[in-house]
Amino acid sequence: MTTQVALITGASSGIGAEVARKLKAKGYTVYGVARRADRLADLDKDGVRTFEMDVTDDASITAGVKRVLAESGRIDVLVNSAGYGLLGSVEETSVDDGRHMFEVNVFGAMRLTQLVVPHMREQRSGRIVNVSSIGGKIYSSLTAYYNGSKHALEVMSDCLRIELGQFGIDVVVVEPGGVRTEWPEIAAAHVEKNSGQGPYAHQARAVAEGLRLSETGSRLYVPAGVVADAIVKAATTRKPKTRYPVGYGAKAIITLRRLLSDRAYDSMALRASRGSRT
């Protein structure tokens, strides 16, 4: 039986690193890549093949895919896990910063997909798992750029699923809620930097406080391994679902958004973002 080959982006920590380890344990040949190669040393020790890849650099992406194919001859699973959260009001957030986040969260994933699809199509099989967020289905104060990037990833994944199904290639979206990784603290720092001192300061304070609940062990935030399990299931099950919401309340929140009118959801989101004005 041919050994399956997986390529995981954003593998330097958190969800991506956990996925790489779990797929390796299932017998896959796993390539874990990230922008900072120095943070991949632990995966090397676990038998994951690692190298530097910057998903915003086309030369880096192209060289990385060529390397995997040269060494292993195939790519069966692509997990687009690289991403970060840029939070802040639209008024105060630099468009250049927003553009860079779209380059990482959306266009990097799409360019990698472009590069692996010809090989998957030739072998008449493959699985592309895009790590989105419940933010791809909802909206809230000070999340326009981040949630916008995840909305884009969701609909582009839907289009890909229709395009690629005829070639035996599945496209699956995983939608985490709150996860205990580096992400919440980085996102909290962003929202404070962008909107912590101006007219949206009370909202920024409320958002940052909510994000930092991840540090207290709040049940609102699940360990990275829980999300990794969902991604591994999406990558390996014979007939995957199109979407896997995962984490505390993820399904309920997405369902609530679908059931509520825009105005009713607006009212709920506004109440959640008021925070303390003192």
pTM of the model as a whole = 0.91
> Which residues are catalytic, by number?
146
Contact 82, 10 (CB under 8 A): yes
Q: What is the 3-state secondary structure (H, E, C) of 139-164?
A: CCCCCHHHHHHHHHHHHHHHHHHHHH
In a domain, 209, yes or no: yes
pLDDT at 278: 37
Q: Is residue 165 part of a domain?
A: yes
Please tell me the distance from the alpha carbon of residue 55 to that of residue 108, in angstroms, as a whole number. 5
Rounded distance between C-alpha atoms, residue 181 and residue 168, angstroms = 34
Domain assignment present for 278: no
Does 233 reside within a domain? yes
Q: What is the pLDDT of residue 276?
A: 43
Domain presence at residue 44: yes
Question: In the block, which residue shows the tokens 């330097």?
Answer: 12
Check residue 275 and give its pLDDT.
Answer: 52
Q: What pLDDT shows up at residue 169?
A: 98
Nearest to 180 by CA among 247, 80, 253, 230: 247
User: Per-residue pLDDT for the chain (278 aa), expressed as one digit of tens each?
Assistant: 689 999 999 999 899 999 999 999 999 999 999 999 889 999 999 999 999 999 999 999 999 999 999 999 999 999 999 998 899 999 999 999 999 999 999 999 999 999 999 999 999 999 999 999 999 999 999 999 999 999 999 999 999 999 999 999 999 999 998 887 888 888 898 899 999 999 999 999 988 988 888 667 677 788 899 999 999 999 999 999 999 999 888 999 999 999 999 999 999 888 877 654 43
The per-residue pLDDT for 142 is 94
**Domain carrying residue 217:** 5-273
How many structural domains are present in the chain?
1
CATH value at residue 71? 3.40.50.720
